[in-house]
Structures are given as C-alpha cells and as structure tokens.
Amino acid sequence: MFEPKMDISVDELRHLLSERAEKGETMVLNMGPQHPSTHGVLRLLLELDGEVIVRCLPDIGFLHTGIEKNMEIKRFDQALVMTDRMDYLNNLGNNLCYCLAVEKLVDLDVPPRARVIRVLLAELQRIASHLVFLASHGLDLGAQSVFLYCFREREVILDLFEMVSGARMMTSYIRPGGVWRDLPDGFEDAVRDFLKGIHRRLDQYHALLTKNPLYLQRTKGISAITPEDALDIGLTGPLLRATGMSYDLRKEMPYSGYEEYEFDVPVGTTGDVYDRYIVRMEEMKQSTRIIEQALAKLEPGPFRSANRKFVPPPRSELGRSMEAVIHHFKLWTEGYPAPEGSVFVAVESPRGELGCFLEGDGGPKPYRVHFRTPSFVAVQALPHMAPGHLVADLVAIISSLDPILGDVDR
C-alpha cells in the first residue's frame, strides 16, 4: 500500500541548484528525513563540492498533521488540546498564545492570580525548552554528558508540571479565561527547591562548554549573520537577539502582565552559533529571576474568569444553583459563540515569535486559525547560512537554530 516512490525530479530543482551540479562538478546528496542530527524529520538536499556546501535546500512537510484544519471542526476549548502538540517542547506557551487570542476575540477577562500563574509556568517551560536545546546541541557536537545532565534537570520541571496538571508534557493547563484549576499545596515549595538547585547547575553547564577550546573552535564564527539579514529572513527570538538587535516581545508588546516583572534581555554580537548558545544560557538565568518575582506576586484569588457564559462552573456549584446547570449544559452541548472578526496575537516562545491568527464567524468553532510559528521561518534560513561551511558545521548550525519539526509543519 505504501510503496516507496521517487520524489522531486531534478527538473523542478534546476533553478535552485547552481550550474556546477549539471556539469557534474558538484554532487547533490540527500540528508534524509531520518538522520540523527536533524532534530526530527527534516530533509535537506545538499549540493556538495567535496565537503563544502554550495547550496542547501530544506524539504519539510514530513510531520504535517493538518492541525489548522482539524481545529476548525472542534469548539474553542476542544481545539486547545491540539495546540499542545504543535511545538511539543513549549506546550504551555502554545496554550498561552491560543488562549490570549481566544480571550481577545470574545473579550474575556483574566483574573490577576491566573496571569501570575501563566507567567510562572511559561517561564518554567522556557527553561525546560532551553535545556532540551542544550542537550541536543551538546549531543550533536559530541558532548554526551551534557545531554544526560540537562535531561536530569528537565525531569524536575516535568514533575512540577505533573503536580499542577497531571500530565508531564501535554498539559492543556492554560485555558481561555485563566487556568484549569488552582495550584496544589506544596507547589510553591517545590518551585523554590527547584530554584535553589538550578543556579548551581547552570554554572556547571557553563563550565562544561562555554570556555571549552574544542567547543569554541566548532562554533565561533560559524554562520555569523547581520541584523538586517536576519530581519529579511524573518528570524525572531534568540536568533535575532544573538545578532545584536534587542527585540523581545515580552518587553516590547507585553502580555499577561509581563510589564510588571524586572528582567534583562541578553543580546549577542555576531550572531554566530556561539552567540546563540550564550543568549539561550543567559535567558535561562533571566527566567529564574522572573519565576522568583512571580512566586512573590502570587496572592489568593480566583484562578479563572467568573464569566459563566464562557467558563464552566465548578462542580460544587452545580448542586446548588439552577443557572450553573444551564450554563454547564449550554457550554457542553453548544459551546460559546465568537463574534465575527479576526485577531492576531503574538507571544515570545523559546524559539521566537509565535503568533496566532484567529477568526470567528459567530459560531462556536474557530472559522480559521493559523499559527505563525518561529521554526517554520528559522528552517528557511538554512539556504542563507549553510553555503561555504562544511557538513560538520551544518550540524552545529541546525542545532543552533533549534527547530522543532512539529512547529515547522504543524
């Protein structure tokens, strides 16, 4: 039923490869979808002159899941479950982006305690995502102990997520109107314990790679890029900040109360692989600062909006109030209607700018939802960054771009 068939013919690619390929001076190789260093199912067509790359063409779509079309047949709250699976290292961040868009569309309020919880969890997710970046970056360059250390830290964070929502990765904890349920007892102490240990561990990670002469030789000067070129390609997030331009959506267009927190935005100089690594390491430190401030800001209060037209009532109320039963019934059978109109909301994910374009049509289902994902654009930067480098450098470049193929293909 699924026989292997040949794919893109050379004729379609003739205008993208250089003329030397036709003469036979260079060879066109396939760095296939199944490869240990491509961070997922990314296919690269490399035109090689010996070991130097002349052209590099990414071929994506091997993880295309049709999430955008599938969300159109589900109600707003049901469609939230699918956003977890898009950028699967930034689950709570995806939830946050979608929920902000839904709240903007239907004009729903969010109580202050929920805003603080959202910031706290989003920053924990950012640290977890950067830890996986560090683990796979080290693994690609041959430093396997970094992989084991980083995953050990990530287990602590995943335990925190499990304490809060019951699931390690696909939490769906941030919902339109606030969060799903209140923080359990012992959560704040667990976060404080985590913060106590993370500073020492971050220094250990610095000691492993930052001044290592082997690491410096492999990463300094590789694929340096200017801010103007980065903006032309469409890069955002740590990739843009490593080139020297300080643009962080949490500071420039704050959401969910980020304007009340004090943190710095680390900036690099040349935009090469080493600067991107340093920017992400510093971002982890700044995230711990934000988490400390968020813990101090937590005050007792409601954790989800009280607007019963959009948010289901708690089960304790169902036994006492008739309106609660009616609201519950209506939400579960029909869902809540969204006005006609479209909104666009952008948040800062660990990979860059994650945007959600949401359009309603008066019904209970999103008419069109589109996610502007950062990895989709980052992978398209490879044709600009790779030429002139060796294949081994390409591995370092790909891991520094930190693409997540679920984000790329949706």
Partner 1 sequence: MGIEQKLGNMGVVTTTLEQVVNWSRTRAMWPMLFGLACCAIEMMAAQSADYDMSRFGMELMRASPRQSDLMIVAGRVSRKMAPVLRRLYDQMPSPKWVIAMGDCCSCGGVFNNYAVVPGVDTVVPVDVYVAGCPPRPEALVHGILTLYDKVSQEKLVQKES
Partner 2 sequence: MHVSVLDLAVKTLQEELGESFLESFDFRGQITVVLKPDAIQAAASHLRNHPELQFNFLAALTAVDYWPQSPRFHVVYQFLSMSHNVILAVRVPLEPGKPDIDSIDSIFPAANPHEREVFDMFGITFKGSRDLRRILMPWDWEGHPLRKDYPLGEEEVQFSFNFDEVNLRKQFARE
Residue numbers at the binding site for partner 2 (CB under 8 A): 1, 7-8, 12, 15-16, 60-61, 64, 66, 68-70, 73, 104-105, 107, 231-234, 247, 252-253, 341-344, 346, 353, 355, 357, 359, 367-368, 370, 372, 376-377, 380, 409-410
What is the rounded distance in angstroms from the CA atom of residue 390 to the CA atom of residue 106? 51
Greatest alpha-carbon pair distance for the chain in Å reads: 81
Q: Any contact of residue 93 with partner 1 (CB under 8 A)?
A: no
Please, what is the minimum distance in Å from the beta carbon of residue 170 to partner 1?
A: 6
82 binds, among partner 1, partner 2, none (CB under 5 to 8 A by kind): partner 1
**362 backbone φψ class: left, alpha, beta (φ>0; ψ -120 to 50):** left
d(CA 112, CA 80): 22
CB contact at 8 A, 125 and 90:
yes
For position 391 contacting partner 1 by CB under 8 A, the verdict is: no
Closest to partner 1 by CB, 110 vs 134, is 134
Tokens for 409? 């293909």
- Residue found under tokens 């060796």: 390
From partner 1, partner 2, none, which one binds at residue 342 (CB under 5 to 8 Å depending on kind)? partner 2
Whole-angstrom Cα distance, residue 198 to residue 404? 25
Options 17, 28, 52, 63; binder of partner 1; rule CB under 8 A: 63
Please pick, from the candidates 14, 64, 192, 199, the single residue that binds partner 1 as defined by CB under 8 A. 64
Q: Side chain identity at 329, as an amino acid letter?
A: F
Identity of the residue, 7 or 185, whose beta carbon is nearer to partner 2 in the bound complex: 7
- Within 10 Å of residue 347's Cβ, how many Cβ atoms? 23
How many Cβ atoms are within 10 Å of 122's Cβ, its own excluded?
28
Residue 180 binding partner 1, by CB under 8 A: no
DSSP code for 265: -
Tell the residue number behind the tokens 């969204």, with chain if given. 338
CB closer to partner 2, 202 vs 233: 233
Q: Which of partner 1, partner 2, none does residue 247 bind to, with CB < 5 to 8 Å depending on kind?
A: partner 2
* 66 binds partner 1 per the rule CB under 8 A: yes
Which residue stretch of 103-111, 150-158, 186-194, 288-296 sits at the interface with partner 1 (rule: CB under 8 A)? Answer: 150-158
| Minimum gap (Å) between residue 349 Cβ and partner 1 | 16
Binding mask 8-47 for partner 1 (x = CB under 8 A): ------------------------xxxxx---xx------
In whole angstroms, give the CA distance from residue 219 to residue 38: 17
Least distance (Å) from partner 1 to the CB of residue 322? 35
Report what 317 binds from partner 1, partner 2, none; CB cut-off 5-8 Å by kind.
none
**What are the two backbone dihedrals, phi and then psi, of residue 182, each rounded to the nearest 5 degrees?**
-70, 160
> DSSP labels for 335-402?
-----SEEEEEEEEETTEEEEEEEEE-SSSS-SEEEEE-HHHHHHTTHHHHSTTSBHHHHHHHHHHH-
The answer to whether 241 and 268 are in contact (CB under 8 A) is: yes
Residue 20, binding choice from partner 1, partner 2, none, Cβ under 5 to 8 Å by partner class: none
57 touches partner 1 by CB under 8 A: no
**Quick check: 164 binds partner 1 (CB under 8 A)?**
no
Measured from the CB of residue 185, what is the shortest distance to partner 2 in angstroms? 38
Smallest gap from residue 79 Cβ to partner 1 (A):
11
Contact 250, 257 (CB under 8 A): no
Distance separating alpha carbons of residues 321 and 195, to the nearest angstrom: 43
**191 or 382: whose CB is closer to partner 2?**
382
- Cα separation, 410 vs 406, in Å, equals 5
Which residue's entry shows tokens 């984000």?
407
Q: Residue 192 binds which one of partner 1, partner 2, none, with CB within 5 to 8 A depending on kind?
A: none
Q: Does 62 bind partner 1 (CB under 8 A)?
A: yes
- Among 66-74, 198-206, 228-236, 283-291, which window interacts with partner 1 (CB under 8 A)? 66-74
Beta-bridge partner residues of 368: 359
Positions in the binding site for partner 1 (CB under 8 A): 1-5, 32-36, 40-41, 61-67, 69-70, 81-82, 85, 88-89, 132, 135, 147-148, 151-152, 154-155, 158, 168-170, 405-406, 409
